[in-house]
Amino acid sequence: MTNDRHYSPVDRLLLQADMALRTLLPFSGQPSRPSPAIVQNETELDAEQARHIAGLMRINHTGEVCAQALYQGQALTAKLPEVRAAMEHAADEEIDHLAWCEQRIRQLGSQPSVLNPLFYGLSFGVGAVAGLISDRVSLGFVAATEDQVVKHLDEHLQQLPPADEKSRAILEQMREDEAQHATSALEAGGLRFPAPVKLGMTLLSKVMTKSTYRI
């Protein structure tokens, strides 16, 4: 692993800019794992089913954009090197999810949300502020965020048509990874957020899901 002492603040900002471009530009993120959908059979979907599934996958894709931005913002301001390394590792895994969702969206004849740059910027700012407050708050924010993501994935899995094995395989693997991220963040000393904070996060997430389902 490369030592963080080799990077100046300017270097790290340039790396963040590069990561932002690779997150937001189409087909820029290269997954380290093949999509779980590859081994699943493609089934015929009617136009309404394809539109609805594409909307769900677009929500999940934007969620991964937000997660990528959140982790990068936290990595930029994390106090401890090991916390920074953990954030960067989680961001690498989120790239897999980002690529898998985009691939599936394209297969369904649709495209990612045009609002992704906006949500990336907001999430990066939140992550950077959390990191500035403390590593414990930063890790706690990861755990709370991933809990929200798991709930969304559970809802989407229930809405998928039984025949859509490709989308289901992707969401099930994402759910497993996100749950592990939440557990790891708490085990690393993350703060358990109180219910009112989680409620506020839920309300904000609804804004994202409602807007990106269609656009």
pLDDT digits (tens, 9 = 90+) for 180-202: 888 988 888 888 888 887 888 88
- Which residues are known binding-site members? 64, 94, 97, 146, 178, 181
Say how far apart CA 73 and CA 10 lie, in whole Å: 15
For the chain, percent of residues with pLDDT exceeding 70: 93
Q: Tell me the one-letter amino acid at 18.
A: D
Q: Which two tokens stand for residue 155?
A: 């809802």
Q: Tell me the one-letter amino acid at 150.
A: V
Contact, 69 vs 23, CB < 8 A? Answer: yes
Say how far apart CA 85 and CA 194 lie, in whole Å: 26
Secondary structure class of 68 (helix, strand, coil): helix
* Inter-residue long-range contacts of 179-186, CB under 8 Å, 24+ positions, other chains counted: 179/146, 179/150, 181/90, 181/93, 181/142, 181/143, 181/146, 182/142, 182/143, 182/146, 182/147, 182/150, 183/143, 184/86, 184/90, 185/86, 185/139, 185/140, 185/142, 185/143, 185/146, 186/139, 186/140, 186/143
Residue 65 vs residues 53, 102, 211, 212: alpha-carbon distances, Å: 18, 11, 14, 12
Q: Which residue has the higher pLDDT, 204 or 92?
A: 204
Say how far apart CA 82 and CA 66 lie, in whole Å: 22
pLDDT at 115: 94
CB atoms within 10 A of CB 167: 27
- Which residues are known binding-site members for Fe cation? 64, 94, 97, 146, 178, 181
Contact, 165 vs 41, CB < 8 A? Answer: yes
Q: Which two tokens stand for residue 8?
A: 């100046």
pLDDT at 9: 65
pLDDT digits (tens, 9 = 90+) for 88-126: 777 777 889 999 999 999 999 999 999 999 999 998 998
Query: pTM score, two decimals?
Result: 0.86
Q: Which residue has the higher pLDDT, 76 or 55?
A: 55
Which domains, and CATH codes, for the chain? 10-23+43-212 (1.20.1260.10)
Q: Which two tokens stand for residue 121?
A: 């910027």
Contact, 199 vs 45, CB < 8 A? Answer: no
pLDDT digits (tens, 9 = 90+) for 28-70: 667 889 999 999 988 889 999 999 999 999 999 999 898 888 8
Say how far apart CA 80 and CA 94 lie, in whole Å: 21
pLDDT at 7: 64
Q: Distance between the two ends of the chain, CA-based, in angstroms?
A: 39
